[in-house]
């Protein structure tokens, strides 16, 4: 079984709809992250969480919110989706160690907002 799972893998929605992307991990890591990937732009950090009570905004948090329901679960919400939020979204985890800690990525959720 995969260590970092994301649901759904693909989602098509309409402008104005609320949508939630979910991430679960079995690695036992404290830290979890949400990234957005757009072609030619690399990955940009949306939100990150160092533990259940510690949630922080990343580079591009406007229009997004998150919830850390448990150590193993970290959800990303789009309260009112808009077309420029069409992208590939990745969840990642890492250990609570130094900055050299590797991040482990989920398989991604492809979101299309019409």
Contact letters for another protein, residues 18-47 (x by CB under 8 A): ----------------------xxxxxx--
Interaction mask 53-92, another protein, x per CB under 8 A: ---x-x-------------------------------x-x
Tell me whether residue 4 or residue 19 sits nearer to another protein (CB atom).
4
- Return the number of the residue (15 or 56) whose C-beta is nearest another protein: 56
Cα 107 from Cα 24, distance rounded (Å): 11
When binding is defined by CB under 8 A, the residue of 34, 47, 48, 64 that contacts another protein is: 48
Q: Which residues face 72 on adjacent strands?
A: none
Length of the chain: 114
For residue 82, the 8-state DSSP code is: -
Q: Per-residue DSSP letters for 85-114?
A: G-EEEEEEEE-SS-TTPPPEE---EEEEE-
**Tokens standing for residue 102:** 């590797």
Nearer to another protein, 78 or 106 (CB): 106
Strand partners, 37: 43, 88
User: Residue numbers of the site for another protein (CB under 8 A)?
Assistant: 4, 40-45, 48, 50, 56, 58, 90, 92, 96, 98-103, 105-108
């Amino acid at each position: 079984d995969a260590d970092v799972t994301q649901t759904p893998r693909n989602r098509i929605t309409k402008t104005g709809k609320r949508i939630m992307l979910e991430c679960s991990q079995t690695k036992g890591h404290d830290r979890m992250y949400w990234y957005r990937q757009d072609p030619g732009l690399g990955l940009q950090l949306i939100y990150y969480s160092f533990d259940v009570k510690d949630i922080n905004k990343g580079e591009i948090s406007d229009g997004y919110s998150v919830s850390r329901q448990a150590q193993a679960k970290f959800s990303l919400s789009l309260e009112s989706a808009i077309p420029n939020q069409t992208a590939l979204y990745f969840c990642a985890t890492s250990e609570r160690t130094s900055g050299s800690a590797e991040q482990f990525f989920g398989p991604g959720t492809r979101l299309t907002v019409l």
